[in-house]
Amino acid sequence: MINPFFKNCGPIYINKLLQLSDIISNEKFSDIIVTDIKDLVTADKENITFFHSKKYEEFALKTKAAFCVTTSNLSHVLPKHCKAIIVDNVLVATATITKIFYPGAVSDGFDINVKDINETTFKDKIRFGKNILLGQNVNIGKNCSIGHNSIIESNVIIGDNCSIGSNVIIRNTIIKNNVSILDCCVIGKKGFGFFPNNEKNIRYPHIGIVIIEDNSEIGCGSTIDRGSLSNTIIGKNTFLDNQVHIAHNNKIGNNCVIAGQVGFAGSSTLGNNVIIGGQAGISGHLKIGNNIQIGGGSGVLKDIPDNSKVMGYPAKDIKKFIKDNR
């Protein structure tokens, strides 16, 4: 369920795909069809993937992908069945290939096809305020409510017993049952993913979605970006305070409590039963374990093992932090 809302323009013959991507390969592959681009973990034998950092070596070793965009110094890690596509800049090449498969995911403008809720079948099924707009491919469950001036844009599924506040914008999102989205949240927009360039920065498509599991709450003014090549997930019974930012590809576990103004960079994984104090910052591509407590104002720059309590910048064991700051 990585990209259920974006149209895949595949399958594409690998040689044609490389040609369209302006990738020159010394090896001419036979007429092999590639159906999709996926990350190292979810790719299968008909997919192309990418491998750009030694940090993901354990996933590269096990990938089932037929092809992998990578660099010459990383290509030896790949299993024999996975053919390396050698490039200078893996992420730029990956962005180009993703645009070929999913051209509709590049633009993130407003939904021109929205309708006033009074013009839809939902007018008799849910409670709603004034000036509510609904896009295409929207499904809303039983006993739900939507506040004033909210826009549920295209590609949204909302479960039963959900409350959507006022001035909320949601797109490309699956919301499970008994979820509360408070006022002024923006959920499912593309993430802050681009490649800096002196003339024009290069954006890459975000073909993932946001998934918010049962019994969760998203506080006022919070923003949750959809994933790039994987999904952004908020676990069951997890509560976000006001003005929390969850960047693309983050996986937040179950029963977590995240206080106000906490910010997550992209692609980190948070375990279950994690408590984070206000104004803490979590860097990208980290693994935060289960049963963690992170003090307010902390800066987390490294992985944190299970059952830890940390605080400070950079975040360290709380006993050491207290000792160092007496």
Sheet with strand 217-218: strands edge to edge = 127-128, 145-146, 163-164, 180-181, 217-218, 239-240, 257-258, 275-276, 293-294, 309-311, 316-317
Which entry of 81, 245, 248, 285 is annotated as an active-site residue? 248
Pairing of strands 36-37, 33-34: unpaired
* DSSP 8-state symbol, 226: P
Contact present, 302 and 281 (Cβ < 8 Å):
no
Angle at 133 between CA 137 and CA 236, to 5 degrees: 60
> Considering only CA atoms, which of 162, 170, 169, 261 is closest in space to residue 216?
162
d(CA 149, CA 27): 55
> Considering only CA atoms, which of 2, 247, 232, 207 is closest in space to residue 94?
207
Contact present, 289 and 271 (Cβ < 8 Å):
yes
Q: What's the full length of the chain, in residues? A: 326
81 is catalytic: no
Structure tokens at 211: 């998934």
Q: Residue for token digits 């969850």?
A: 246
d(CA 130, CA 148): 5
Structure tokens at 170: 């949601």
Q: Which residues are catalytic?
A: 248
